[in-house]
Each structure stands twice: as structure tokens, then as C-alpha cells.
Structure 1
Amino acid sequence: MISATTRKAQSSAMQASVLALNKTYSPVHVISAKRAFCLLSKDIAEVISVEDGSFMNYDFGSWIEISELRAEFNERNELEDWILSVNFEIQVPRVVRLLRYDRIPNNTIKFNRRNIFIRDSYRCQYCQKKFSVKQLSLDHVIPRSHGGGMSWENIVSACRRCNTKKGGRTPSQAGMKLFQKPAKPSRNPVLLQQVKQAKYECWKNFVGSKELLTCD
């Protein structure tokens, strides 16, 4: 019987992020491990593994064999995610290549709360302190009553205390100063957050300075 701890780890592993490349090895999406395994099992994608500076290509069957050998010889590390099925263990790949997809999507950066918080590093743009998502709110730098709209250049993260203090005034009217000038990110904030993590470091081999990826 699988323990509750193991089930939790399995669920977490299935939600791990996987970078999807098109046929020409250009990055196009960030997908979940669950989605990646679905594509692999249907032979729509293959695993791209970065090994000692070189790229290795594996179909689903080969990846299962490689994973079983690594598991047998205990060649696993804490940065990896693993799935335990009924018949075998398999490592969650970090990168897959879509075998039938050669287009680059029309990528856009979604304007939403999550991306604003990530852009601002979860820091209130007035008191400069970091907060949890539940403790943060969105503030119109130029209030709506003054004609301020919903845009990357006019919305910032603010703690509830500072947001209340500022009220329906501009920062100068409230005697408050912005930590940094808000602007639209040049790259997807979610991708930037993930690529900084050690377990997604191999993505740097494929993601250039100007890629804008969609995240599922």
C-alpha cells in the first residue's frame, strides 16, 4: 500500500514543470509532467536529456528503461521528480520535444495577479517588504478616479496597509514613493521564476534572452 507521504510526492511530481520544444528545438510551452507523459505515451513527443553538456533523445520506451536502470542502481538526486507506477519507476523529464510541431506560437504575457506579484518579487512597491500572496493586493499607481487604467505600467503589488494608506490618491499626493517604476516584463514572469530554480537549470540550454513562453 502506498503511504500518504508517497501519494503526496507523486501528486507533486505530476505537477512538476516540463519545457516543451518544437521540432527545431525552439521553446514553445511550459507544461505539466502529467501532460508531458501523455504526449510521450502517444509518441507525439520525445525526451531531451542534457547529459554532460550534450543532448540525448529518448522515446518513451527508452526513457522508461533508462529510469528503471537509474532506480535500480540508486542514481537519483533530490532535484529530480519520480513517478512510481504499478510496474516501474520513471523519472519526470525536464525537457520534451514535440515531434510534429514546427511553429512558434504567438506568445503573449498574461496580465494577471500572479504575473504582477512575480514581476514585483512579492514585494510591496511602497514599503519594500516581502509578503505572501494572501497579504498582497493590487494598487493603481494613478487611481481610476484620476483616469488610471489597468496596465502593466499602472498596476503594482502593495501590502494591504500601504494600499489603505494610499487610498484614492497618487503616490505624491499620499507622500509615498514607488520602489521601482512598473513596466511590462520582457519575458514570462513564471518562466523567469522557474528557470532560477536549480532543478530547472537545464532549461537555460534552450531558453534565450528574448523567448516569451506560454505556461499551461
Structure 2
Amino acid sequence: MSTLVVTAHPDPTSLTHHVAARLCERLTDRGEDVTTAHLAQEGFDPRFTATDRQAYLTGQGHPRDVLAEQERLDAAQHLVLVFPVYWWSMPALLKGWVDRVFVAPWAFAIDDGGRVVPAQQRLTVHLVPILGTAQGSFSRHGYAESFTTQVERGILDYCGVRRGATAFVHDAEDETRATGNAGLAVDTVVGAVVGTAVRG
């Protein structure tokens, strides 16, 4: 099975990168083919430009960097997004990556009746959001449901991808708790990826 792990954090010493590295190591040890994409280090441009807009309207003429990202995703069966939660959602870099890459006709299409036709049913997406908030507070104030609505339903379901594991790493500012939570998140995603491979 081929897995693409994508991060969106400018600091290579961050917990985000630590979790991604540990995840890649564990998956590789289990015989998985793993590729990483560190968007900040690669210099991905998240800005949705007039060129992107025109390509979105016509379904053709997408910028080369967008096509390259789509090709990288086409080579993967699993996509794992590891990212810090900023203001209860994805950071701008990752959101811009989604905005530019998950476009028609690659991610979805609109039929003659105006209905959305998902186009990425073959891809399984796993999420590892990392945040400083405790789990209880995140759920109690409605942020967890908001995240599910925006990211899981609004993006993943819209494109038809298979929902894999969503493994939050809470208490990121507390080193002891963060270490334990990160380990649990890695275990969850590795189990989901390898379990899918075993089930076929």
C-alpha cells in the first residue's frame, strides 16, 4: 500500500513534524511504501490565483504545481494529513493546498442536473490534527462538531474519499500529555492504514 503523509508547519522541530516522522517510521516498519510532503519546506504556494480560478471554471489549464500535487496523490492509496489546528481548523497553508488541489474535475464534477459527482472514491484520508486545547474543552464548546462539519463532511465527503482515522493530538502545549496523545494518534493511524491493507 502507498501512503502520502502531508504536513503543514513551518518549524521542522515542531510536534507536527515529530508526529509525522514517527508515523512514517512506524508505517515503513510495517512494510508500507511511504512518501512525505512537507508543504512549508517545499515552498508550496497556497494562494488561489486568477489562473486557478480560470482553471476551476473551465476544468482545464491547471497550474503545474497543482497537477504535480494531483499526480502525487494519484500514486497514493492513503493520504495522512498531519497539521496544527489554528482557530479550530486547518492552517492557511494546508487549506490553500486543499483549495487549489482538490478541484474539478480531479476531485469532483458537477453533472448536467447540477448534482455533485465525487471523483476520489479510491483514496482513503486520515487526519491527525494537533491542538493545545484539552479534549473536553474542544468538544464542550462545539469545536469538535464544527471541525467534523467543515473538514470531514465539507471536504472529504464532498470529494467522495473514504474516511480513515481521525486522531486528535490534544494538549500539545503540555509535553508529557502531548507525548502520550501523539503516541496514541500514531497507533490509531497505523492501525487504520495497515488494517485496510490486510482487509484489501
* TM-score between the two structures when normalised by the length of structure 2: 0.25
Q: Which one has a larger percent helix, Structure 1 or Structure 2?
A: 2
* TM-score between the two structures when normalised by the length of structure 1: 0.23
